[in-house]
Structure 1
Amino acid sequence: MKFQISPLAQALSLALFACTFQVQAQETTPKKLQPVLVTGSAITASGLNESAGSSSRLGLSLRETPASVSVVSREEIELRGASNTQEILKSVPGVIFADPPGSAGTVFYRGFGSGSLSQLYNGISVQYDAIAARPVDSWIVERVEAIGGPSSFLNGSGAVGGTLNVITKIADRSGDQAKARIGLGDSGRGQAALSLQRGLGEQVLRLELNRSEGALWTQGRDRQAWQVAASWLLPLAQNLSHTLAVERQHEKVSQPYWGTPQLQPLNGAALAGQLTFDPSTLGVNYNVEDGRYQQDVTWLRSLLDWRLSERSQLRHTFYHYDALRDYENVETYTFKNSNSQVARSNALLQRHDQQVWGSRTELSHSGKLGGLTSDSALGLDWSYNRQTRFPNSVSAIQKPFDLVDPYAPAPALFYPASGIQPGYLPGASNQLHSLALFAENRTVLGGGFALVSALRFDHISLLARNLRTPTATNPAQFATTFKPLTGRLGLVKDLSADWQVYAQASTAADPPAGLLATAGFSALRDFELTRGRQFELGSKLSFDGGKGFATAAVYEIRRRNIAITDPNDKTKVIPVGEQSSLGLEMTARWQASSALGLSGHLSHTRARYEDFVEQVNGQPVSRAGQRPANVPDWVAGAALDWQATSSIGLSLDWRYVGQRYANTANDVWDGGYQLLGLGARLQLDPRLSLRLRVDNLTNTRYVANLSSSLPYLGAPRSATAALDWSF
């Protein structure tokens, strides 16, 4: 018998727990009012003076940083009604995203996809971002920071296109807080959540609980997720403190939606032109009824902060990541017989077992260099990353498991339909040992100039094991070592106290194909990590007495030695490709009055293959000059926030994504789309507020992730309501 607790029952339990916690805290502390600090947006009207830790280890403000950096604060997450970490990315210029089950961390930024981006969690990479960076419910998120362009000098291999860092809530000195939420949405979705922070003398305890469940927009698709995060801030001595943070995440989706098949040409020709769908198939789910993906993740962090002097600080982070991911699905659906039936094929039973251990030490110092003001940071970064995969698949595109009605597919179960036997057989295991030295410096040169530099040297040892029958192209064991050196050099000029311009060059090192956590013999035996470099010019300006700000940046990125199949030997991968990206990004925000705020962003990307050869029916075909799949030329967004009265707030946001291609041939595409969102906040009393939200207000049909075989559609119009109680 399966026991489940409804969202309402969970909310009542959380509220009871919160009241008990509050009473105990009151009994152990003096009965007096505690100071409360209300934190706002990290990018508000004066936000260029705020710091974004992801872009530097020197604590530089955004205006001091020679790079395009975006920060999405907790305040903005609430205003936009972002339910998970991917929806938060709507506020980052130029970023598009999707969460197809097989690669739920799908993100594109500055012309590059997930394999060339770093998606960090509290500044930590698990080197498996396209899979591991699944959307997480936003309740536990404090903010998201994004850096455009190469930044391997900060966190190691990866990040040619950029870095996205999700930062979760943790115990701090902002004062006692207590908040509970009950949320409801269409299709029976529900949420119950609790946030508590209490000071007990000099110590601070924080607890975050969140549970969400309910049907998603396609047939049979049900999601259950919960997160628990606890942290303890403990002063050990004067100027020395330690924070222990533990986080547990669980997510399970039953009968995941893998995509909607597009109509096939009736004349037998190859697919070409704009994607076409049968409107009656939108929302139909062709996966087996007991299909699933499930993820269980545990994070442990130990954070030591030691103020050695007024000018020097030592930080140490120890972390552990433990993840188990499971998949049981029939994943491919194709129209057959003059589009009268859909063939289901390609079953996969898969498990990922990943463990990451790491230690990072950082020493920062503010001093003088040759008589000039100079801030420096030095550090040592070590990690061990092991992942074992358990794949078991049946590929049968030409001979499908069955043919079903496109509008009412016959129910089927995974094991009888696929012919796969239950049980997990290990297939491959990768072990990564990484050791890195890094340094950063900012020196004020005088005359309004400041030089910002960074350098990182990585020593990466990879041992890839084939746990099944060895072959010539997949031996029992393969070991290799990489030693990339990456960096950034930037110059910032103050034209005035409110206006800065900058120029910078930065580099990155990427795996040539796939990810180091899964890459094997064929992808790595013949060459080093591929190299990427970027040149960027930009400007940052505050205006209207600090009530507004604007930023602009132009950049060029090139990545060389992209891995492709050897035209003369299909068993080998060789580095002969090159991809470039030339782009423009602009952002602006203006608090026009105490009641009215405006914001917007606009990005144009000219991404191209400069040198790329693809195998088509056994023949090499040049794709030089073509745009990479899923990369739009234009991305734009705007938002208006209006506090109509002291108790009523309204918001309207708009998003545009331009045309994208589904393949490297650029002969299958989907047009651009626009999405509207509408929100309202009603302050019922000083402690109780009601939030209402409608996403995709116009019910636009759009493709979130393009594929010439199985496009993944975005969600239709949806509505949610949430009741927040502060106590």
Structure 2
Amino acid sequence: MKHQLYPAARHAKALPFSSPTWNSWTCAALLASLGLAVPAQAAEAEAAEGAASKPRTSAQADASLPTVQVKSAPVTSEGGLGLSLPSTSGSRTGIVTRDLPASLDVVDSETWQERGDIRTADIIGRSVGMAPLSPTSYSSLSFGARGFTGTNSVGIAEDGVRLGVASSTVPYPSDGWGYERVEVLRGPASIVYGSGTVGATANLVRKQPSREPVREVLLGAGSDGAAKLGLGAAGPLGETLSYRVDAYGHYTNGEHDMARAHGGKLMSTLRWQPSAALRMELLADYSDQKPARYFGTPTENGKIVKELLGRNYNTDDSAISIKDQRVRGRVNYQVNDWLNVSNELYHFKADRYWRNIESYRYDRSTGMVKRGDYLELAHDLEQTGNRLESRINAGAHQLALGWEVSRTKFGYSGNSDNRKIDLPVDSSPHGPWDSPSPMVDRFQTTTTTHDFYAEDAWTLSPQWLLLAGIRRDLTDMSRRDLLGASSFDTTLGGTAWRLGLTYKLDAATSVYGQVSQGHDPVGNIATLNLANSRYKLTKARQLEVGLKQQFAQGRGEWTAAAYRIEKTDIVTQDTYDKTKSVQGGKQSSQGLELSAVLRLSPNWRLEGNYALVDAQYDELLKDGVDFAGKRPLNVPRHMANLWAHYSTDSRWGRWQASLGARAVGQRYANDVNTASSAGYTVWDAALSWRPKPGTTYRLSLRNLTDKLYTYSAVSNAAAAQAYPGEGRRVDLSAQFTF
């Protein structure tokens, strides 16, 4: 659907990755953040084995299932990589992240607040190897990871449940308020989350009810008339009940014409725990978002026309509305010392509406902009599911067995208006919506999926751990065409598995290796059309090796991962008949990922990550052209993030100054690799003052140099347009916890 797939692009003026300046910056960042984290520090880490791990929050401890056993580990302080935490996103067995034979990033709420982040896209986009692809003002979550892009390869989950996707649109959750941390599992994650997760999966973990009263308030204001308000509360309700409620609202006039955006949400959890063995929860959420009605700016020869920056050629009465309702019920019962049984029943409902003119082509000779794609459409999405799971602690084995069933109903309504109308480049106002094509119901789909999975974390010895898992997904999809004769029924099936081995060099250092298999759909399953109905799921296999280490009594942590993924059965052209498309293409990627946190002293902390991605099409034909050896669209070869924090105490309280940079390499805008956008580096800064515990005032500066850049590469086609990244802005916030 075009409104989602437009390039989130603004032509980058940042230095390309091939420049000496960028290489110097990268080397300095890696040396600073990674150079000191060497295995020679293992002796210090081993000496700290007896130290108790510092707890994260009382809510997080309360949320842990009774079957999870967290062994003593080196002290973990703020801003760490979460290596001592149970892996709630990488495995259902609950093993510690340091022992997980897979690459998993953990970013807690304190860390993203220090950086001045609140949007989910920004929080996830700073983790290693995750490239945001969606516009900053558009409420959708689309990323690239390990050479694979979009919502069909990079999944989004909340508390381990995949969120419904339709027409490549994943708008929820749009912000991080009410969440305790975000965990990003890279590589094929189908064993945990099912189809559509070959590149990575980001799982947002909610804040939990607590027996200790907690109150949180966030107030903020910033550039372009921005304002935000967040409220959070948790505490007991009698002897057996506890609760958690979070509310958040935001408003901005936006950087561009008609780019006003506002929205709000309410998240609530009620917990009943009559005994240590039984816990029941009811969750109810509501979200209402009205994102910016801005779809980019026209380009010339792949470059932004600067004099058109900030102009919006959408209709004056355009509209975008995204509403989500979610209800979940959970039961967890510790039957005895070795058996835990849980069940989760959920229902999600999304109502989405768009009415916009989304395509703009600039003609300098006439001074006109040709507007097209008069799109009015609506989504009606409902997802109901149930997951039954048992965990078994059988001595050296920690087993997880489960069955998940879900049914998704999707209704699509839209118009059909292919007009192209000229508008003077400086015209204002732009006029009302005048499409002669009415919006009508076009098709409905019903998708029923049964997933069966089993995992075993087998402790072979104090040094060796074997993690094995298998999952079988069976999907029945039915599409009813309401206007034509394109109705059909189809069945899709996929088997995912993982075999990983972890070896503990010492108490704080682990090396691992894993082989895994996952699968992605050719197109979004809920909106498959007749042409794609004959295709099976694509298959991807990965080989990964890595290292995870804590050192200097928890003051430093680092991880390294090297991988290769081969994805087969992508759609390509029939060798013998150019008019036909078949499955038989192949795409591969290999790379290196590094991340580290280093606390140089009580005052200084450094955080950094770097990803090298070498991706290509191995077998791909389109229109008689062989694309073998070409890099896929919007896949940068290099990505890096760096943050430096300096804290000091004074008579007026605690101060912290932070400086960060995000660098993304050059990306191609077409399969033949003839059009590309240069790499970019965006600098951010933050200054916070904590006059007393529980009170923090923060000044955040984003895009300090006002760099002009794009998330997605900009095509050099005549009809191309670009979506500029966020320009320089200032935000002030005050946060109180009591």
Q: TM-score range by the shorter chain?
A: 0.7 to 0.9
Q: Which residue number in structure 2 is paired with residue 351 of structure 1?
A: 378
Q: Is the 8 A contact 1:99 1:135 kept in 2?
A: no
Which ranges in structure 1 are unaligned for 5 or more consecutive residues? 1-35, 265-274
The residue correspondences of 1:293-312 to structure 2 (distance < 5 A) are 293-312=320-339
The secondary structure found in structure 1 opposite 2:169 is helix
The residue correspondences of 1:387-402 to structure 2 (distance < 5 A) are 387-396=410-419, 400-402=420-422
For residues 574 and 729 of structure 2, the distance between their equivalents in structure 1, rounded to whole angstroms, comes to: 47
Of 162, 182, 197, which residue of structure 2 is paired with 1:125?
Answer: 162
| Alpha-carbon distance change, 669 to 339 in structure 1, aligned in 2, over 3 angstroms | farther
Q: Which residue number in structure 2 is paired with residue 93 of structure 1?
A: 128
The secondary structure found in structure 2 opposite 1:427 is strand
Q: Which residue number in structure 1 is paired with residue 527 of structure 2?
A: 518
The secondary structure found in structure 2 opposite 1:92 is coil
- Aligned AA (2:124): L
Residue 726 (structure 2) pairs with residue 715 (structure 1): yes
Tell me how far 1:697 sits from its aligned partner. 0.8
Residue 176 (structure 2) pairs with residue 171 (structure 1): no
Q: Which residue number in structure 2 is paired with residue 228 of structure 1?
A: 266
1:172-198 CA deviation, whole Å, 9 max, x = no partner?
45x211011221011111112211112
Tell me how far 1:404 sits from its aligned partner. 2.3
1:643-665 CA deviation, whole Å, 9 max, x = no partner?
12242111111110000011111
The residue correspondences of 1:438-517 to structure 2 (distance < 5 A) are 438-446=453-461, 448-470=463-485, 475=486, 477-512=487-522, 514-517=523-526
Tell me how far 1:135 sits from its aligned partner. 5.5
For residues 274 and 497 of structure 2, the distance between their equivalents in structure 1, rounded to whole angstroms, comes to: 36
Q: Is the 8 A contact 2:210 2:236 kept in 1?
A: no
Q: Is the 8 A contact 2:362 2:370 kept in 1?
A: yes
| Alpha-carbon distance change, 91 to 605 in structure 1, aligned in 2, over 3 angstroms | same
Q: Is the 8 A contact 1:458 1:484 kept in 2?
A: yes
The secondary structure found in structure 2 opposite 1:47 is coil
Q: Which residue number in structure 2 is paired with residue 16 of structure 1?
A: none
Tell me how far 1:90 sits from its aligned partner. 3.2
Residue 561 (structure 2) pairs with residue 553 (structure 1): yes
The residue correspondences of 1:546-585 to structure 2 (distance < 5 A) are 546-564=554-572, 573-585=581-593
Tell me how far 1:45 sits from its aligned partner. 4.5
For residues 715 and 339 of structure 1, the distance between their equivalents in structure 2, rounded to whole angstroms, comes to: 30
Of 352, 357, 361, which residue of structure 2 is paired with 1:334?
Answer: 361
- Aligned AA (2:148): F
1:197-222 CA deviation, whole Å, 9 max, x = no partner?
12123311211111111211111211
- Aligned AA (2:404): D
* Number of residue pairs the alignment of both structures matches: 658
* Aligned-CA RMSD value: 2.2
For residues 193 and 399 of structure 2, the distance between their equivalents in structure 1, rounded to whole angstroms, comes to: 17
- Aligned AA (2:667): R
For residues 639 and 311 of structure 1, the distance between their equivalents in structure 2, rounded to whole angstroms, comes to: 43
Q: Which residue number in structure 1 is paired with residue 84 of structure 2?
A: 49
Tell me how far 1:93 sits from its aligned partner. 0.4
For residues 428 and 43 of structure 1, the distance between their equivalents in structure 2, rounded to whole angstroms, comes to: 50
Moved more, 381-390 or 38-47: 38-47
Tell me how far 1:137 sits from its aligned partner. 2.2
Q: Is the 8 A contact 1:522 1:571 kept in 2?
A: no
Q: Which residue number in structure 1 is paired with residue 94 of structure 2?
A: 59
| Alpha-carbon distance change, 309 to 695 in structure 1, aligned in 2, over 3 angstroms | same
| Alpha-carbon distance change, 456 to 132 in structure 1, aligned in 2, over 3 angstroms | same
For residues 78 and 514 of structure 2, the distance between their equivalents in structure 1, rounded to whole angstroms, comes to: 22
Q: Is the 8 A contact 1:320 1:355 kept in 2?
A: yes
Tell me how far 1:453 sits from its aligned partner. 0.5
For residues 230 and 544 of structure 1, the distance between their equivalents in structure 2, rounded to whole angstroms, comes to: 40
Residue 294 (structure 2) pairs with residue 257 (structure 1): yes
For residues 164 and 148 of structure 1, the distance between their equivalents in structure 2, rounded to whole angstroms, comes to: 8
Q: Is the 8 A contact 1:147 1:162 kept in 2?
A: yes
Q: Is the 8 A contact 1:329 1:414 kept in 2?
A: no
For residues 42 and 385 of structure 1, the distance between their equivalents in structure 2, rounded to whole angstroms, comes to: 42
Residue 647 (structure 2) pairs with residue 629 (structure 1): no
Give the TM-score taking structure 2 as reference length: 0.86
Moved more, 59-68 or 567-576: 567-576
Q: Is the 8 A contact 2:77 2:555 kept in 1?
A: no
Of 87, 90, 105, which residue of structure 1 is paired with 2:141?
Answer: 105
The secondary structure found in structure 2 opposite 1:628 is coil
For residues 466 and 570 of structure 1, the distance between their equivalents in structure 2, rounded to whole angstroms, comes to: 28
Tell me how far 1:593 sits from its aligned partner. 2.3
For residues 141 and 695 of structure 2, the distance between their equivalents in structure 1, rounded to whole angstroms, comes to: 35
Give the TM-score taking structure 1 as reference length: 0.87
Residue 269 (structure 2) pairs with residue 219 (structure 1): no
Moved more, 195-204 or 226-235: 195-204
- Aligned AA (1:316): N
Q: Which residue number in structure 2 is paired with residue 588 of structure 1?
A: 596
The residue correspondences of 1:613-624 to structure 2 (distance < 5 A) are 613-615=621-623, 620-624=624-628
1:501-558 CA deviation, whole Å, 9 max, x = no partner?
111011111112x200111211122x32111111101111111122111110110111
Q: Which residue number in structure 2 is paired with residue 419 of structure 1?
A: 436
Residue 648 (structure 2) pairs with residue 644 (structure 1): yes
For residues 152 and 43 of structure 1, the distance between their equivalents in structure 2, rounded to whole angstroms, comes to: 31
Q: Is the 8 A contact 2:222 2:732 kept in 1?
A: yes
Which ranges in structure 2 are unaligned for 5 or more consecutive residues? 1-56, 62-75
Residue 545 (structure 2) pairs with residue 537 (structure 1): yes
| Alpha-carbon distance change, 301 to 135 in structure 1, aligned in 2, over 3 angstroms | closer
For residues 400 and 527 of structure 2, the distance between their equivalents in structure 1, rounded to whole angstroms, comes to: 32
Q: Which residue number in structure 1 is paired with residue 72 of structure 2?
A: none
- Aligned AA (1:521): L
Residue 682 (structure 2) pairs with residue 675 (structure 1): yes
For residues 661 and 315 of structure 1, the distance between their equivalents in structure 2, rounded to whole angstroms, comes to: 46
Tell me how far 1:158 sits from its aligned partner. 1.3
Tell me how far 1:498 sits from its aligned partner. 1.5
For residues 321 and 579 of structure 2, the distance between their equivalents in structure 1, rounded to whole angstroms, comes to: 33
The secondary structure found in structure 2 opposite 1:52 is coil
- Aligned AA (1:62): T
For residues 371 and 692 of structure 2, the distance between their equivalents in structure 1, rounded to whole angstroms, comes to: 54
- Aligned AA (2:215): A
| Alpha-carbon distance change, 448 to 460 in structure 1, aligned in 2, over 3 angstroms | same
Q: Is the 8 A contact 2:244 2:270 kept in 1?
A: yes
The secondary structure found in structure 2 opposite 1:179 is strand
For residues 704 and 282 of structure 1, the distance between their equivalents in structure 2, rounded to whole angstroms, comes to: 16
Moved more, 502-511 or 387-396: 387-396
For residues 167 and 628 of structure 1, the distance between their equivalents in structure 2, rounded to whole angstroms, comes to: 32
Q: Is the 8 A contact 2:210 2:242 kept in 1?
A: yes
Tell me how far 1:687 sits from its aligned partner. 4.6
| Alpha-carbon distance change, 683 to 666 in structure 1, aligned in 2, over 3 angstroms | same
Q: Is the 8 A contact 1:429 1:465 kept in 2?
A: yes
Tell me how far 1:318 sits from its aligned partner. 0.8
Of 375, 387, 412, which residue of structure 2 is paired with 1:360?
Answer: 387
For residues 251 and 220 of structure 2, the distance between their equivalents in structure 1, rounded to whole angstroms, comes to: 10
For residues 710 and 720 of structure 1, the distance between their equivalents in structure 2, rounded to whole angstroms, comes to: 29
Q: Which residue number in structure 1 is paired with residue 54 of structure 2?
A: none
For residues 544 and 318 of structure 2, the distance between their equivalents in structure 1, rounded to whole angstroms, comes to: 46
Moved more, 279-288 or 653-662: 279-288
Q: Is the 8 A contact 2:540 2:565 kept in 1?
A: yes
The secondary structure found in structure 2 opposite 1:517 is helix
Q: Is the 8 A contact 1:86 1:135 kept in 2?
A: no
The residue correspondences of 1:171-190 to structure 2 (distance < 5 A) are 171-173=209-211, 175-190=212-227
Tell me how far 1:236 sits from its aligned partner. 3.8
Q: Is the 8 A contact 2:109 2:181 kept in 1?
A: yes
